[in-house]
């Protein structure tokens, strides 16, 4: 959570930056002090304190303080251990699992339910209005985009996935109001994805981005689902980021499925399962 605040600071208004710096200086005290005291120490108004909490992705001051307290007091301790060349297989196994579990629990404690709710509503509306939902990603994120397309396609949604930059730009060019595009990126700095976002937004489509806070791509969409982790994507294959993105997709598709309802989905899924029986050995 503290890394997320640090990453967001440069994009905040000066008054909100003062609140953020106060939080980073003594997060334990920040989680306990009343809003009036926080405002006095930051030399800002009380509404500015609340705006800061919302600017960094939380529902408000109460939500921010609750999750901050969980991070510094009761949360899972920060764990991220890079693998070394002389590690034994057992060492690698433990490090990879610890890094993944830590990233998942960190996301659980810090994720903005407001942002997820907005994304789910946009996706569900696209389904209800029979509009298109598209997924864009390159490299490892392109694999996540394909996984997302597969999961949403099984709900009977008109959806496609593209990992090629030219196809993304062409696809974004034919999007219209009511359509949705979900853009997935570990670094948040891929030029092709930025271009596709800009085109889709100009055409009236709702743009949802799953990427790191403070990255250029984070500000390109209408809805930002932050995917922050301590992994250095320039050093080795981004394993944790890929799993984190897959988990966020699972959250979205589960929420959208619940919006669609069992009466609609169960007959569809049952028919799919029945038709696939012939593809398997008895």
* Extents of the domains making up the chain: 2-74, 77-110, 113-269
pLDDT of 233 reads: 46
Asked whether the beta carbons of 130 and 105 are under 8 A apart, the reply is: no
Task: Put residue 261 in one of left, alpha, beta given phi > 0 → left and psi -120 to 50 → alpha.
Answer: left
| Phi then psi dihedrals of residue 156, to 5 deg | 85, 25
pLDDT tops 80 at residue 88: yes
> Which CATH class name applies to 2-74?
mainly alpha
pLDDT of 68 reads: 85
Highest mean pLDDT among 79-93, 234-248, 253-267: 253-267
pLDDT tops 80 at residue 1: no
pLDDT of 79 reads: 47
pLDDT tops 70 at residue 15: yes
Closest C-alpha among 79, 50, 48 to residue 65: 50
Highest mean pLDDT among 31-35, 198-202, 233-237: 198-202
Mean pLDDT of the chain, nearest integer: 88
Closest C-alpha among 115, 136, 119, 238 to residue 191: 136
Asked whether the beta carbons of 68 and 30 are under 8 A apart, the reply is: yes
* Span 247-266, average pLDDT: 95
- How crowded is residue 186: how many other Cβ atoms within 10 Å of its Cβ? 26
| The two structure tokens encoding residue 282 | 């008895």
Burial 2-28 (b: 16+ CB within 10 A, else e): ebbbebbeeebeeebbbbbebbeeebe
pTM: 0.70
CA distance 3 to 8: 9
Closest C-alpha among 68, 64, 98, 58 to residue 81: 98
- How crowded is residue 31: how many other Cβ atoms within 10 Å of its Cβ? 18
- Residues contacting 154, CB < 8 A, separation 6+: 269, 272
pLDDT tops 80 at residue 235: no
DSSP state string for 49-109: HHHHHHHTT-SSHHHHHHHHHIIIIISPPP------TT--HHHHHHHHHHHHHHHHHHHHH
For the stretch 16-26, pLDDT in tens is 999 999 999 88
- Of the pLDDT bands very low, low, confident and very high (cuts 50, 70, 90), residue 104 is confident
pLDDT of 238 reads: 57
For the stretch 71-86, pLDDT in tens is 765 444 444 556 777 8
pLDDT of 214 reads: 87
pLDDT of 231 reads: 59
pLDDT of 17 reads: 94
Q: Which sign, positive or negative, has the C-alpha torsion 28, 32, 35, 41? A: negative
Give the CATH fold of the 113-269 domain: Rossmann fold (3.40.50)
């Amino acid at each position: 959570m503290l890394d997320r605040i640090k990453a967001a600071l440069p994009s905040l208004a000066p008054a909100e930056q003062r609140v953020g710096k106060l939080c980073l200086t003594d997060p334990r005290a920040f989680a306990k002090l009343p809003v009036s005291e926080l405002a006095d120490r930051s030399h800002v108004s009380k509404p500015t304190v609340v705006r800061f909490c919302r600017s960094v992705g939380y529902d408000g001051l109460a939500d921010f303080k609750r999750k901050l307290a969980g991070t510094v007091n009761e949360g899972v301790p920060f764990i991220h251990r890079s693998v070394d060349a002389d590690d034994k297989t057992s060492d690698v196994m433990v490090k990879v699992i610890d890094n993944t579990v830590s990233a998942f629990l960190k996301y659980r404690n810090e994720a903005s339910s407001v942002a997820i709710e907005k994304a789910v509503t946009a996706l569900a509306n696209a389904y209800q209005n029979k509009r298109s939902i598209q997924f864009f990603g390159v490299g490892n994120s392109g694999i996540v985009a394909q996984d997302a397309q597969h999961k949403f396609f099984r709900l009977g949604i008109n959806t496609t996935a593209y990992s090629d930059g030219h196809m993304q730009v062409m696809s974004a060019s034919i999007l219209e109001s009511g359509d949705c595009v979900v853009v997935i990126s570990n670094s948040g700095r891929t030029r092709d994805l930025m271009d596709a976002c800009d085109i889709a937004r100009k055409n009236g489509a709702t743009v949802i981005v799953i990427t790191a806070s403070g990255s250029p791509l984070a500000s390109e969409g209408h809805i930002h689902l932050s995917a922050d982790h301590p992994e250095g994507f320039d050093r080795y294959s981004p394993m944790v980021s890929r799993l984190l993105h897959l988990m966020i997709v699972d959250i979205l598709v589960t929420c959208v499925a619940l919006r669609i309802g069992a009466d609609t989905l169960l007959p569809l899924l049952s028919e799919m399962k029945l038709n696939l029986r012939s593809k398997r050995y008895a």
